[in-house]
Structure 1
Amino acid sequence: MYLGSGDWQANWENLGRSQTVDHLSLQGMARLLASSSKDNDIRIWDVVLNQTLRVLSGHSASVSCIRWGGEGLIYSASQDRTLKMWRVDKGILCRTFEGHGHWVNTIALNTDYVMRTGAFEAKDCLIDGTALPVTNPQQLKNLALDRYKKFTRNEPEMLVSGSDDFTLFLWSPSTSKKPLARMTGHQQLINQVLFSPDGRIIASASFDHSIKIWCGKTGKFLHTFRGHVQSVFQISWSSDSRLLVSGSADSTLKLWDISARKLIVDLPGHADAVYAVDWSPRGDRVVSGGKDKLEKLSKVQQHVIHTDYYGCSKTVLILPLSMSLNVRLVQMLADSIQCSTRKFRTHC
């Protein structure tokens, strides 16, 4: 397992590993990293000290997805059909959520975007309108906390889960073990769920070739986007919550207008299945990757697309774009960017 940073110096440490790492999730300022593997555990790493802080055990099958909350909590989804909420500082299990009839593949929080961007404003990557970015760690932390509090308005975080049982559940995990809504309509398993950056809408991608949108507060069904002719693997929101991009097994990327409820444009396509897609928090770039071993970086300006192509030696499965100035987990543009890399001894 490797961690890359933005100091642009190559530095490799080989510590070995014995289990496949299935999922990774960075906490806010990127000091803590959560990883899951087929050993059913979640490991919390200090990426500065390069050591394991805690091991969270409780799932009885592989952990498929992890999300950091904004209150020192971690949420996990598993093939054991449950979701769990953990308090990281004490290493304890707070709650287990049941209801799905099959594997839980994906979860998302309504605070994901504000947690991802932290102190940085998407419109210009500046902070509070100042001429230069603030770099003091404590000041960044305070600004990030302020943005989080303004977003939540002292209301509990909302969680949505998607499963192999074709359903989604909407939860208020800090207030109840029971779901707020059971969301049905998909005809095959759910690959991904995402809240819009403003938290108002949930989008879900499915093997049934469709993308559905739902109310982020109530779980009420809003619309189905159709156009893909094979499974939809991943989706990503624009920073203003107006647009959604989707990647599919049919080799295409599609850009959707949420308010108009229509397809805007097909982004330049891949030669094979598109497994990974992400939208930069600034809102001007979409990156995609897939089975054709290509990474494509598309600049989106007023729906005009310009695309650059980058070759990889293997299938591209995940491509998160970071807004942080100091941390880049993705080896996007791997042939032209050298990242400082640390390798962690992982799950046994």
Structure 2
Amino acid sequence: MGETKFHEKRPLNPNAKNAAPEEEKPEGHIVAQFQSAEGDFETPALNLPIATTTEELQLLLNQLLNQEDDPLPYSFFVDEQEVVSGIYKDVIKGQNKSTENVIKILYQPQAIFKVRAVTRCSSTLSGHTEAILSVVFSPDGTQLASGSGDKTVRIWDLNTETPQFTLTGHTNWVETVAWSPDGSILASGAIGDALKAHKNCITSISWEPMHSNAECNRFASSSKDGTVKIWDAKTRRVLMTFGSHTAPVMCVKWGGEGLIYSASRDKTIKVWDAKDGKLVRSLDGHGHWVNHLALSTEFILRTGCFDHKGTTYSTKEAAQQAALQRYLDAKKKEPERLVSCSDDFTMFLWEPFKNKRPIARMTGHQQAVNHVSYSPDGRLIASASFDKSIKLWDGKTGKFLTTLRGHVGAVYQVCWSSDSRMLISGSKDSTLKIWDLKTKKLKFDLPGHEDEVYSVDWSPSGNKVASGGKDRKLKILYILYIFIFYQLIINFWRINWLIIKNSRLHLYLI
């Protein structure tokens, strides 16, 4: 008689001939152990079904950490690979892990808010008469400054999207602008002008962190004259000059551990004591000009006491304590890490507070690496190169993760969303692109600029993006901004639509 053959597939619904069969739920168990990313806490070994999803891991971990009343979102990793869907798909099947061995699942807290991606520009702002070289949001995200080749700096009203102030005084191109951590002072740099001390153009400005100085009145400037200078913004005087470099200094960063870092075309990175200006050590290894530096704590140092909740403080001391707590929470028990990029196509990852030997030499780019940026959570590094690509690296080990391709011109700058879930890039090809860090793929392509995009910044509050470039236009994009407060998995969503588009930008020292 007719036998039913096992390879014949029958529709689950007799009325739907093309209906797909239900996917069988995998059976079995694994022995797993949760471990914090810092390695300072481990849970007991647990017997978990291999069908456990990431949502179920979230619930279980919050229960083990006694956080059921106020649960937090976490990312999970097994052997440095993120568990996106669940144990079976990403670990057992994806990594060919045996169910007989104990599997260690590293967990790391995510931001408790989520930023939605920009999809289009809302407006194009004109005003600058030359290329916009720098755009920077204030630490609280309420103000926007732009510096330009027209020798001016503009402060923009983000509510009306019109120029609020035009700052004049520079006699040359404004190459950099930077807000103090409390948002009360804006410094801009060009050649000479206002605070006259450098003998050549100013390439970079970095303010002393708020947790180190409640007054927020000191900043460092680097110059092509080969020096780094420390300024008092209130007295407008130079406090110290660092002069050990033998070529132009292209970048300076004021770290949170009392150290100042400077990168130079003499192929070295110098580490200075911020208190007395003494040279602590020299970081050697690059074979060509060092173009840029980024710190693992940079987002926290930039934003000071300001968080996504918009908390305000009645005194400078209270704000300083809040900034200190945010810094300690972000850094945890780990040392501050530094990443450098160079014209030698490479990057180096350092722990300068400990020693002068690099953690890793990061190779893979085919042309000069122009810009590097740490994600706000310190977990990832993004690098932008003239080879038209963006590469992602592990922020702790320097291990290469993936390449993001899509630009058809050199990538000039990259910037992270405040929740570390997205990345935006500006390029010579006149486009902005938003990348999804979960899928490691392009999320949105944002044309609109008429020429090269030199500078892009994502508001620390997460709800705005600004870009400027050779077309002398500033684009402002208001973003759908969603706060996610978790109870069980997600407790509450708060939505704000915001969009930011083109406008012209300029830089100054004030």
TM-score bracket relative to the smaller structure? 0.7 to 0.9
Q: CA deviation at 1:31?
A: 1.3
Shift in alpha-carbon separation, 1:171–1:268, aligned structure 2, 3 A: same
Q: 2:292 matched to which residue of 1? A: 106
Shift of 1:270: 0.5
Contact 1:268 1:307 in 2 (8 A): no
Q: How do 1:182-221 and structure 2 match up within 5 A?
A: 182-221=361-400
Matches within 5 A, 1:274-313: 274-301=453-480, 306-310=499-503, 312=504
**Partner of residue 353, structure 2:** 174
Q: State whether structure 2 residue 422 is matched by structure 1 residue 229.
A: no
Q: 1:302 to 1:5 in 2, by over 3 A?
A: closer
Unaligned runs of 5+ in 2: 1-150, 157-163, 170-192, 211-215, 483-496
Cα pair 2:154 2:166 within 8 Å, conserved: no
What SS class does the counterpart of residue 479 from structure 2 fall into? strand
The match for 1:38 among 185, 204, 224 is 224
* Among candidates 205, 218, 238, match of residue 24 of structure 1: 205
Structure (1 or 2) with the larger CA radius of gyration: 2
Percent identity between the aligned chains?
48
Q: Give, as a single letter, the amino acid of the residue that structure 2 aligns with 1:154.
A: K
* Structure 2: distance between partners of 1:16 and 1:167: 35
| Residue in 1 that maps onto 2:120 | none
Which residue identity is paired with 2:304? G
Counterpart position of 2:248: 62
1:125 paired residue among 290, 310, 315:
310
Structure 2 length-normalised TM: 0.57
- 1:307 CA drift (Å): 3.9
Question: After superposition, what is the alpha-carbon deviation per residue over 1:253-292, rounded to whole angstroms, capped at 9, x for unaligned?
Answer: 0000011111111124200000000100011111100000
CA distance in 1, matches of 2:500, 2:153: 27
Quote the offset at 1:224 in angstroms: 0.3
**Cα distance change on mapping 1:246 and 1:184 into 2, 3 Å:** same
**CA deviation profile, 1:158-214 (whole Å, cap 9, x unmatched):** 010000000010111111211110110000000111110000000000000000000
Describe the shift of the 1:15–1:236 C-alpha distance in structure 2 as closer, same or farther (beyond 3 A): closer
TM-score (norm 1): 0.83
Aligned equivalents of 1:264 and 1:93: distance in 2? 44
Is structure 2 residue 434 aligned with structure 1 residue 255? yes
Shift of 1:154: 2.8
- State the partner residue of 1:89: 275
- Read off the aligned partner of 1:195 and give its amino acid letter: Y
Moved more, 204-213 or 170-179: 170-179
In structure 1, stretches of 5+ residues that fail to align are 127-132, 318-329, 332-340, 343-348
When the two chains are superposed, the root-mean-square deviation of aligned CA atoms in Å is: 2.5
Does structure 2 retain, via aligned residues, the 8 Å contact 1:267–1:305? no
Cα distance between partner residues in 2 of 1:125 and 1:213: 30
Q: Specify the SS of the correspondent of 1:282.
A: coil
> Corresponding residue for 1:74?
260
Answer whether contact 2:340 2:349 (CA < 8 A) is retained: yes
